[in-house]
Structures are given as structure tokens and as C-alpha cells.
Chain A
Amino acid sequence: MTVARRWTPGRILMWLVLLGSAVASVFPFYWMLNGTTLNPNDVLRGILAPGGDFLSNWKLATTTYNLPLFFTNSLVIALGTVVFGVVINSMAAFGFEKYRSRARDRVFGILLLTLILPQIAVVIPMFKMFSFFKLLNTRLAIALPSVMSVFIIFFLRQNFKLFPTEIMEAARVDGASELAIFVRIVAPSMRASFASAAIYMFIAQWNAYLWPLITILNDAIKTLPIAMASVMQAYTIQYGALMVIVCVSTLPVLILFLTMQKQFVAGLLGSVK
């Protein structure tokens, strides 16, 4: 089979579709990056050549708009969620997969139901609950509800299926406790799956909107998405500084994606395996 390399109308159309999609996908990234160097008016008009306002935009973003505080809040909350989340979700996935019992299978079935549950259905009673315990408007309140993730348990369980039970049996014969089997033998060999789960949880929490929007009541604990949303509600918007915040909040995820593409995509595909 040889592919005809002539420029037939079909081939030209195909390249137009592909290049057009690629340009449309990448252009907003260039535009927001370039926007950090422009004055507000030029951002709006969409000037494509770099300007000279980067330093003043950066200064505005880091002082008036409190960018370092919001960045730290986002980072602390996301990392905390990931650390606790990976531990309890992987334990649960391990328990459900390697110690099967009819009762636990039934519990897992109930957990799976929450995958189709819209978030809006739980946030109102959750708001009442947190306000009852006087925990609203705390970093803990933002993080706690997303520590347990049924999707991550499901994803890790699929991966634990691939771990041979015979190895666990052999370790038992050698006198290893069940906990030691998990911590010393199973977990280290599943590092790639743990990385995928961690990346997925980090991004979900880093980008979270609805629950933080409800539970955050003042500037001190705002996360980046909530900070951006409130900038957008101001009467006059400093577009250049806004573009700085947008870039800073996209950068960590972009770096995670570019450096760990394999794990990133594995986490994304977890659900079709």
C-alpha cells in the first residue's frame, strides 16, 4: 500500500481541517501569554505583538490582586487533598479488589452510583453541615469533601487487578503482615498508577469551582479559580493583570501534562480500561 503524495483536493481539505483545529486550539494560549505584556485596552482589542507592560501587570497581579496568596492557597489545598486522597483511595481500592467479599462488593456498587451524581445535589446540605460545625470558610472545608474520590478508587482498583495475587500469597508464606504486603510490595510496584491518580486528583482540586465558591467567604482563603471569578465581577477589569493570573493558574497543569504525558493520559483513560 502506497499513500499517494499528490495534493488532491481531499488531502488539501484534510490538512486545512487539521491545521485549522491545531491553530484554533493553541491560539488562545498564545493570546493569553501575550496578553500579560499588554495594557488593558490592547488585551481587549487583541493586539498580537508583544507590548511592554509585563512588569506593571505582574506588579498589579502580585500586589493589588494578591496572586501569591491565592497561589499558595490553591497549592496547599491541592497537595493536601492529593496526599490524603492517594492514601485512603488506594487502601480502599486494594481492600475492594484483593479481599473480595459479597458485602464489600455491594458497598462498592453503592459507591459507584455517586459517579453519576451531580455535585449541585450535595453542596447545599454540605454547606449546612459545615456551617453547623463552624468549619465554613476554612482550607479544611475546601479540601475534605474531595479527598475520597470514587473515580480514583475505581481507577486504582482496575490497576490492582493486574497485580498477581500469587505474589501476595508468597509474601504471606514468608510471614509478611497484610499491611506490610500493601505498603512494601504492592504499592511500590504500582507507582505509575499512583502517579496518574495523584495527577488527576491534583488537577481536579486545583480547578475546583462550585464547592470552593460556596464555602469561601473572604479573600484570605480564596483559591485561584475563585479569585479569577471575582476579578471578572469587578466594574473595571485590569485585563493585563488578569492574564497574568490566568497564566499562573494554567502553568502547573501544563507542566504536569508536558512532563508526565503518559501518566496524565493514563489517568484520563482510566475509565475506559
Chain B
Amino acid sequence: MALRGAYERYLNRFGWWCVAPSVLFFSIFYAYPILSSLYYVTRRWKGATNTFIGLGNFIRMARDNVFLEAVGHNFIFMIIQVPIMVFLALLLAVLLNQGIKSFRGGLRLAIFLPSVTSLVVVSVLFRVLLQTNGFLNNVMLGGHFIASPIGWLSDAFWAKVTIILALTWRWTGYNMVFFLVGLQSLDPQIFEAAEVDGASKVRQFFTITVPLLVPIILFSAVTSTSGTMQLIEEPNILTFQGGPSNATMTAALYIYRQAFFINFDFGYATSMSYVVVIISGILAAIQLRLLGGERATR
């Protein structure tokens, strides 16, 4: 028995050795930064020196309209873009899976293709395509769809539309793949039975497909939500530094600019990032509860 105990201890020790390097990296690049920022949030940087200001950073934040609007923009992008994209991805998955018999592989490949581009490349491409004298305006003017060029990048409203367009282009095919996998796991007999009962395709989509795919829809919504809370490439490059005049400023970009561009006040920037962490945490908790609730009822 003693020998068995020694062997167990040997296995346990080996287990620790396996995870040790990763835990070390975790401590340096996650645990330490998070813990040390607890000190940062109470201080204010001015040049190289910093002073204790207690909760001053949070009071300043509550009055900082650019920050509050930036968080608002994150929510706008989330509330408008995520549902559009999820619906489109689901629709395309269903059409590819049940609607057609030919060209299925080619179409799937084509629609997934944007997922291989980096967010910087997406931002660069759309920035050039959507110039006021650029391709899209030229095409739309040429076809007489619009009377005058649209300020895709220079108008506060259209700049937001531009970000939503770019996000939808980049992520719809990516999410579609999840739905395709989900659809393949469904029993085709359900649809045959619905067909016999005379349910239309549209009705089948809303009363059978969507309810059965709820877990995957939620998964895709959770990951997309956490993605939109972190938006930074698109507002920084596509609409150039959150422009026009902060109309597309996001929380992450504003924090980055406060820390490394404008004031170099690491205390204030860290405090704002704490608020973003808390918002992300709350959103994740809500969505995980929805996911968990769904599992429990199945």
C-alpha cells in the first residue's frame, strides 16, 4: 500500500511538471498584470511621476463623455451587428444544407473565404473600397442608386454602417461553419415529417431549425459579443482613430489612446479597462446562464 502511495505521488508530481510552464506563463502574462493593475487604478500619472488619487479615476470616467459614448458605440455595434450576422449565417447555412444540391462545396468555400483575412487587412481593404471617390461610390453613382457620394468614412452615421459592413463581411462565413456542423447533426426525418404535414420551408426554418440550433446560436452570440466589446483594429484603421470626431470610438481604442497616445495616464487607462472587464464579465455570465438554462431543459 505504501508503494502504491509513492507511485501516486510520483504521478501527481509529473502532472505538476506538465502544467508548470503554462502556469508560469499565466502568472507572468495574466495574473501579475491583472493584480498589479489594482494598484494602477488608484493612481494618476503626470509625466514620469504618479500620485495616489483613490477613486478619482472612476469619478473622472463618469464625467468623460468620450469614454461613455465609446462604450455606447460598443453596445450599438453589438446590438445591431451580431443579430444581423447570426441571422445571415444561419440562413446561408440552411440554404447550403437543405436548399441546393449542386455547387455546395464551392459556395461554402467562397462564403468562408473572408475568415482567412486579418482584421487589419479587412480594415485596409474597406478603407480603400469605401473612400468618398472610391469603388463602391463609383459603382453606385454609375448605376444611379445614389444621387451623390456617400461619406462612408466621413459621416458620423455612415462610418458606423461601414464598421458594421466590415464586421459582417469578415465574420458571417466563420459563424456559418458552426451552423453547418449543427445542421448536419439534426435528424432529416424531422424535416420529412414536417414536409408531409404540409409545413412550408419558411415555417420549418422558424419552428424547427432555429429552436433546435439554439445552443449553437447562443455560442455564436457569446463569442461575437465578446469580440465586439474588444473592437480596436476597425475603428483605428478603417475609420481612422475612431473618427469622424469620435463617432466610431470604441472603449478599447479609447483606452489604448489614453495610455499610449494622448495623456500617457496609465492609471486612468487601467481604470477604464477594469470597467470593460466587468462589462464583459457580466455579459458572459448572462449568456452562459442562457446557455446553461437551455442545456438543463433539453
Residues of A within 8 A of B (CB): 1, 3, 10-11, 14-15, 17-19, 21-22, 24-26, 28-29, 31-32, 35, 43-46, 88-89, 91-92, 94-96, 98-101, 104, 107, 111, 114, 116-129, 144-145, 147-148, 150, 153, 178-179, 182, 206-207, 209-210, 213-214, 225, 228-229, 232, 239, 242, 246, 249-250, 253-254, 257, 265, 268-269, 271-272
**In the bound complex, how far is the Cα of B77 from the Cα of A130, in angstroms?**
33
Beyond known contacts A3-B101, A22-B107, A121-B37: 5 more, CB 8 A cutoff: A44-B135, A46-B136, A95-B18, A122-B30, A128-B266
Contact of A229 among B219, B237, B260 (CB under 8 A): B237
Q: Is B51 an interface residue (CB 8 A)?
A: no
Q: Which chain B residues (13-38) contact chain A, with CB distance < 8 Å?
A: 14-19, 21-23, 25-26, 28-30, 32-34, 36-37
Are B192 and A1 touching (Cβ within 8 A)? yes
Are B30 and A25 touching (Cβ within 8 A)? no
Which one of B115, B174, B229 has the highest number of Cβ atoms from chain A below 10 Å of its Cβ? B115
**In the bound complex, how far is the Cα of B266 from the Cα of A122, in angstroms?**
12
- Chain B residues with CB under 8 A of A29: 113
**In the bound complex, how far is the Cα of B281 from the Cα of A121, in angstroms?**
12
Are A122 and B15 touching (Cβ within 8 A)? no
Nearest chain A residue, comparing its CB with the CB of B236? A229
Q: Is B84 an interface residue (CB 8 A)?
A: no
Annotate B228-271 by CB proximity to A: 1 below 8 A, 0 otherwise. 01101100110010000000000110011001100000100110
Are A120 and B232 touching (Cβ within 8 A)? yes
Are A17 and B95 touching (Cβ within 8 A)? yes
Interface-lining segment among B60-68, B116-124, B143-151? B116-124
Contact of B260 among A15, A150, A214 (CB under 8 A): A214
Q: Is B110 an interface residue (CB 8 A)?
A: yes
Contact of A31 among B37, B99, B129, B274 (CB under 8 A): B129
Are B32 and A148 touching (Cβ within 8 A)? no
Are B230 and A120 touching (Cβ within 8 A)? yes
**In the bound complex, how far is the Cα of B256 from the Cα of A45, in angstroms?**
33
Are B29 and A148 touching (Cβ within 8 A)? yes
Are A21 and B111 touching (Cβ within 8 A)? yes
- Chain B residues with CB under 8 A of A128: 36, 266
**In the bound complex, how far is the Cα of B178 from the Cα of A1, in angstroms?**
27
Are B133 and A118 touching (Cβ within 8 A)? no
Are B124 and A228 touching (Cβ within 8 A)? yes
Give 21 pairs: A residue, B residue, CB < 8 Å, sorted on A: A11-B99, A19-B107, A21-B92, A22-B111, A25-B113, A25-B114, A28-B169, A91-B22, A116-B280, A121-B34, A121-B277, A124-B255, A124-B259, A127-B260, A129-B32, A153-B22, A182-B18, A232-B237, A242-B124, A271-B219, A272-B178
